[in-house]
Chain A
Amino acid sequence: MKLRPFRIVLILFTSLIPLALLAVLIFLGRYSWPAVTFNGWHFLAGHTWNLGNLYADPVKQRGVLAPIGANYGILVFVAGTLLTSTIALIIAVPISLGVAVFLAEGLRSRLRTPLSFVVELLAAVPSVVYGLWGYAVLTPLVAHTIGPGLRSVLGFIPFFSGAIGSGYGLLAASIVLALMVVPIIAATVRDALAQVPSETKEAAYALGATHFEVVRRAMLPAVRGNIIGACILGLGRALGETMAVLMVSGGALNYFPGNIYSPVTTMASFIVSQLDSAMQDPTGMAVRSLAEIALILFIISVLTNVIARLLTGTSRNASPA
């Protein structure tokens, strides 16, 4: 192949995309490496985040300089991330499937476009505005209506009983995350449903199925791979979501949530909330440990995305908007 200057320019610019990913991996890895060696596996297993004595002279521990008593364990935040994302998906998946079925099959074509726009708008609302709404509307609602209601129905399960508190916490964060994840799953599944071959539908109709039975028994099974892929894509979004969670989660430090109403902190929101105090650390070990959290989040997000793309097949069938 003859290399023309135009193509070389195109290739150079195109390479910037993989290079950006590589740079994130390398620079976050390099910067957090002292923290990785200092923390070891305790980073993931420990549940206390303690900056140590910032006023005493730092000492050399495990080959690196760190404040006395410094201890970085993120198990609480890992638990917060997993809990909020899991509960969010438990809420969001059935609703998303309902929305997708409703938009793809339950409407005449004239209504389909404007109502689909509602779902697109849901995806367009900035994360921080979700947080603002969560702060102003959702947390009072959780404290006074949703929480007591949930407790009176499911209170026999320990996780749903106990003090409801201020409304800031696991439940509010999960609800906000669910709202942010629904448009991702619903749009992907709706597009997949629209591409189910008409032979599949007609065969089901020919067997005497009602319209809903066609959807339920023939179309949804046909797009099962897309549904799972979409859910993982939504999970990836929920795991890395920062601002909205930060604003409604209540920010728990060093203790695990006791019930679904307890305050939590996720890995992503912890990074934002901790920067100011981490910068007080003269050895920089706290900032490096935050970089280690970012590195772990990066790896998780890449993995979830790769799995989701493999499951949904070609990533190009869905429209980008």
Chain B
Amino acid sequence: MPHPLKISRITRRKWLSGLGWGLAAASFVLVATPLLDILFTVVRKGMSALSLALFTQVTNGISGGLLNAITGTLVLVSGALIIAAPVGVLAGIYLSEFGRGRFGRTVRFLDDVLAGVPSIVLGYFSYVTLVIGLGWQFSVLAGSLTLAIMVVPYIARFTEISFMQVPGGLREAGYALGLREFTVIMRLALPLALPGILTGVLFAIAIALGETAPLIYTAGWSNFLWNGRLIHEPIGYLTYVIWSFINQPYRSAHALAFAAAFLVILMVLVINVGLNAALRRARPARAGQR
């Protein structure tokens, strides 16, 4: 040992590299721990609040069940999909098949911009135009339309990507057989792109299920079951229960908030696990033959 205090340059670099990997791993742990704690907390407190009454009774003040909120969430999300899916899918088809020009590039860009607009801004926009402007008041249609504007960019993007992965040779074969553009796209390409589109729709459902801010201003809140009216009638939803009831100083309110959070997280988790499996299975297949 020539000099005990002098560490060789190589050793120092190895140590620093090791430290670097350690910090990288530590940051992952720092991020994964809160996620696990979020899931753990919500599942533990949510499970203990679960009961049959939750699914059979409507909310009564700050107690009772969540039937109105569960059905309300399903109604709002379905409404959003009915509006957003056709728009998103058709826009995605356009972007993939004809979107090379300036209009296509612009829309693609604005699609990303729309996805980045804060949901509260969209909610307030709908409040101003639909709830007040058109006089719809807090209603299913106002809520669903707002959610639809939020999720359209994602459906369009997923659709575009899955259409782009359909091989061009298939389209050319169709045209060579004398098929019309409509037939080639809707009958030949669409079936192959369909799994990707459904993935996008699932993704949109997961987003819409968890939204709160845009609905506070458009859907309102109701203790009662939806009576089928599209306007002039507010509707309940699960995420409202979470943010509103947790601020009440009552045990029953907190239990309902955690139960609602559990249901929302459960649905989002199931969808995301499904998405993950679908995307992973889809990738090698698409990269391969087809």
Instruction: Give the interface of A toward B (CB within 8 A).
Output: 4, 6-7, 9-11, 13-18, 20-21, 23-24, 27-28, 31, 94-99, 101-103, 106, 113, 115, 117-122, 124-133, 135-137, 179, 182, 186, 210-213, 215-216, 233, 236-237, 239-243, 246-247, 268, 271-272, 275, 290-291, 294, 297-298, 301-302, 304-306, 309, 315-316, 319-321
Asked, given contacts A4-B181, A122-B35, whether A210 binds B17 with beta carbons under 8 Å apart, the answer is: yes
Q: Knowing that A18-B107, A99-B27, A186-B31 are A-B contacts, what are 12 other residue pairs whose CB atoms are under 8 Å apart, sorted by A's residue number?
A: A9-B90, A10-B91, A10-B97, A16-B87, A99-B31, A102-B24, A113-B280, A119-B31, A121-B35, A132-B258, A136-B246, A179-B34
**Interface residue count on the B side (C-beta < 8 Å):** 92
Q: Is the CB of B94 within 8 A of A294?
A: no
Asked, given contacts A17-B156, A135-B246, A210-B14, whether A124 binds B91 with beta carbons under 8 Å apart, the answer is: no
Asked, given contacts A27-B125, A179-B31, A242-B118, whether A14 binds B90 with beta carbons under 8 Å apart, the answer is: yes
Distance of A212 Cα from B216 Cα, bound (Å):
48
Please tell me which one of the listed residues B128, B185, B243, B269 contacts residue A291 in the complex, with CB atoms under 8 A apart. Answer: B128
Q: Which residues in A have their C-beta under 8 angstroms from that of B27?
A: 94-99, 102
Asked, given contacts A99-B27, A320-B154, whether A17 binds B210 with beta carbons under 8 Å apart, the answer is: no
Distance of A119 Cα from B32 Cα, bound (Å):
8
Instruction: Give the interface of B toward A (CB within 8 A).
Output: 13-14, 16-18, 20-21, 23-28, 30-32, 34-35, 37-38, 41-42, 45, 86-87, 90-91, 93-95, 97-98, 103, 106-114, 116-122, 124-125, 128-129, 133, 149, 152-154, 156-158, 161, 181-182, 185, 199-200, 203, 206, 209-213, 216-217, 239, 242-243, 246, 257-258, 261, 264-265, 268-269, 272, 275-276, 279-280
Give the distance to chain B from A309, nearest Cβ to Cβ, in Å: 6
Q: Is the CB of A129 within 8 A of B242?
A: yes
Q: Is the CB of A302 within 8 A of B113?
A: yes
Asked, given contacts A272-B120, A298-B117, A320-B203, whether A21 binds B210 with beta carbons under 8 Å apart, the answer is: no
Asked, given contacts A18-B110, A126-B239, whether A242 binds B120 with beta carbons under 8 Å apart, the answer is: yes
The residue in chain A whose Cβ has the minimal distance to the Cβ of B158 is A320
Distance of A235 Cα from B276 Cα, bound (Å):
26
Distance of A115 Cα from B28 Cα, bound (Å):
9
Can you list 12 A-B contacts with CB-CB less than 8 angstroms, sorted by A residue number? A7-B181, A13-B94, A27-B125, A98-B25, A99-B28, A106-B21, A115-B32, A124-B210, A126-B212, A132-B246, A290-B124, A320-B161
Q: Is the CB of B110 within 8 A of A98?
A: no
Asked, given contacts A27-B125, A27-B129, A211-B17, whether A128 binds B109 with beta carbons under 8 Å apart, the answer is: no
The residue in chain A whose Cβ has the minimal distance to the Cβ of B120 is A242
Top 8 nearest A-B pairs by Cβ distance?
A240-B118, A126-B210, A98-B27, A212-B17, A13-B90, A305-B116, A102-B24, A294-B124
Distance of A45 Cα from B113 Cα, bound (Å):
28
Q: Which residues in B have their C-beta under 8 angstroms from that of A115?
A: 28, 32
Please tell me which one of the listed residues B17, B124, B268 contacts residue A213 in the complex, with CB atoms under 8 A apart. Answer: B17
- Specify the main secondary structure of chain A where it touches its partner: helix
Q: Which residues in B have their C-beta under 8 angstroms from that of A17?
A: 87, 91, 107, 110-111, 114, 152-153, 156
Q: Is the CB of B243 within 8 A of A243?
A: yes
Distance of A41 Cα from B185 Cα, bound (Å):
53
Asked, given contacts A125-B35, A291-B124, whether A13 binds B86 with beta carbons under 8 Å apart, the answer is: yes
Q: Which residues in A have their C-beta under 8 angstroms from that of B26?
A: 98
Asked, given contacts A28-B128, A95-B30, A132-B246, whether A271 binds B258 with beta carbons under 8 Å apart, the answer is: no
The residue in chain A whose Cβ has the minimal distance to the Cβ of B217 is A275
Distance of A215 Cα from B19 Cα, bound (Å):
13
Q: Which residues in B have their C-beta under 8 angstroms from that of A302?
A: 113, 116-117
Q: Is the CB of B116 within 8 A of A236?
A: yes
The residue in chain A whose Cβ has the minimal distance to the Cβ of B148 is A20
Q: Which residues in A have their C-beta under 8 angstroms from that of B203?
A: 320-321
Distance of A32 Cα from B290 Cα, bound (Å):
53
Give the distance to chain A from B122, nearest Cβ to Cβ, in Å: 7
Give the distance to chain A from B258, nearest Cβ to Cβ, in Å: 7
Distance of A305 Cα from B117 Cα, bound (Å):
9
Distance of A136 Cα from B38 Cα, bound (Å):
10
Give the distance to chain B from A193, nearest Cβ to Cβ, in Å: 12
Give the distance to chain A from B247, nearest Cβ to Cβ, in Å: 8
Q: Which residues in B have their C-beta under 8 angstroms from that of A243?
A: 212-213, 239, 243
Q: Is the CB of A6 within 8 A of B239?
A: no
